[in-house]
Amino acid sequence: MNSSDFPVGFRFSGMASGIKETGMLDLGLIVSDSPANCAGVFTRNKVIAAPLLLTKPRVAQGKCQAILVNSGNANACTGSEGLQVAEATLELLASELQIAGDLVSVASTGVIGQLLPLAPFISGIPQLVNNLSPDQVHTVAEAMMTTDAFSKIAVATEKGNQNYRILGLAKGAGMIHPNMATMLGFVLTDAQVNTELLNYALYRAVEKSFNSITVDGDTSTNDMVLLLANGAANSAVIEPDSYEAEKFCQHLECVLLDLAKMIVRDGEGATKLVQIRVVGAENEGSARLVACSVATSSLVKTAFFGEDANWGRIIAAVGYSGVDVDPNRIDISFNQVPVAGNGLAVGADKEAEATKVLQLDEFTVTIDLHQGEAESSYYTSDLNYEYIKINADYRT
């Protein structure tokens, strides 16, 4: 992946500002050369951090030119003082870039309940602006990280009737669950797309990606995904309800799903990436409920870690999902290996084969309800000792 894969008209910068005592990168900046159309999706947590209180109404206006993100401190549950700090960082950046404050979005991630220091922004923002470059995407991706083991970047390119690129950056490893998760996502494109289509495309893609993953069942106070389209590719405008609009939606879904899978793969302590695929459901909503129930089961997730093909835990999670299922018609398989048919074990030989599947880093559990034609998927990780260790020591 190189800068030719990235949408034109965007520049990036990241640095270690001192917010993190470790000296790691903790402050990032994304700037579009011109105001971009934008859309956003935000946490549904009722406890909302200061940066979201500022960013959400700005994004609702449909324009954004700069995104300032910090890690190491969430600036959440910090009251009016925290809001004042967030406003000050926004104003500092707007002044340095010489753009309107309404065009700046701010995002934070890290420890909740600690006031975000302003000093790193006062000294850091001029450096960030001075170092802006089209090929410094990786520095922003790294500056967003908290307990992440690796940075997360994904791209897609359209070279048909249109000619544009989509770039996505995300962070997240723990407190991952729908609506949304402890994650930040920034998606950029040089396509010409109006805000109506951006909103539709983003909500659709988020439901199939970031809202279809789970690591531990927790969501946080700072979560957001922003989508910016600056039109710098100079391709034709992508009209809503067109063939090109559907292609754009599909490209966006691919980028976000790639990022979502990276988040699960990087789940705190995770050793497995598992797709829970529910088929044969009466409708998509039912399939989604069943997939979520299985994907969030601690007993299922610990069985994955133990590489135990314990399909009994899976069918039990199907049963308490809230969907009216017939247990005598349920089939379960690991990859292509059946372990249960019509709600009954298929034999020790197949379970032994399935155990080998569980030794893989990535596999699919397919649950067939035999009630209809609908299907849905969730992506989950295993749950192990390392997750407890990471979160027990998070603030120390």
Q: What pTM was computed for the model?
A: 0.88
* Tally of CA atoms within 13 A in the half-sphere of 104 that contains its CB: 21
Active site residue 221: no
CATH of 273-392, one of 3.10.20.340, 3.90.1150.10, 3.30.750.200, 3.40.50.9100: 3.10.20.340
For tokens 């001192």, name the residue: 18
For the domain bounded by 3-263, which CATH number is listed? Answer: 3.60.70.12
Cα angle, residue 168 at apex, residues 284 and 232 outer, rounded to 5°: 115
In 273-325, DSSP assigns E strands to 273-281
Q: Which of 329, 339, 317, 314 is nearest to 370 (CA)?
A: 329
- 3-state class of 117 per DSSP? coil
CA 239 remoteness from chain centre: 26
CA dist 54 → 58, 67, 198 (Å): 7, 12, 20
Which of 78, 109, 146, 182 does the annotation list as catalytic? 182
Answer whether 356's CB lies under 8 Å from 336's CB: no
In tens digits, the chain (396 residues) has pLDDT values of: 677 789 999 999 999 999 998 999 999 999 999 999 999 999 888 888 999 999 999 999 999 999 999 999 999 999 999 999 999 999 999 999 999 999 999 999 988 899 999 999 999 999 999 999 999 999 999 999 988 889 999 999 998 778 999 999 999 765 545 555 557 999 999 999 999 999 999 999 999 898 888 765 556 677 899 999 999 998 899 999 999 999 999 999 999 999 999 988 876 667 889 999 999 999 999 999 999 999 989 899 989 999 999 999 999 999 999 999 999 999 999 999 999 999 999 999 999 999 999 999 999 999 999 999 999 999 998 877 665 655 555 444
- The H or E element spanning position 139 is helix 137-143
- Whole-number Cα distances in Å, 248 to 41, 157, 193, 264: 18, 10, 9, 25
List the domain boundaries for the chain: 3-263, 273-392
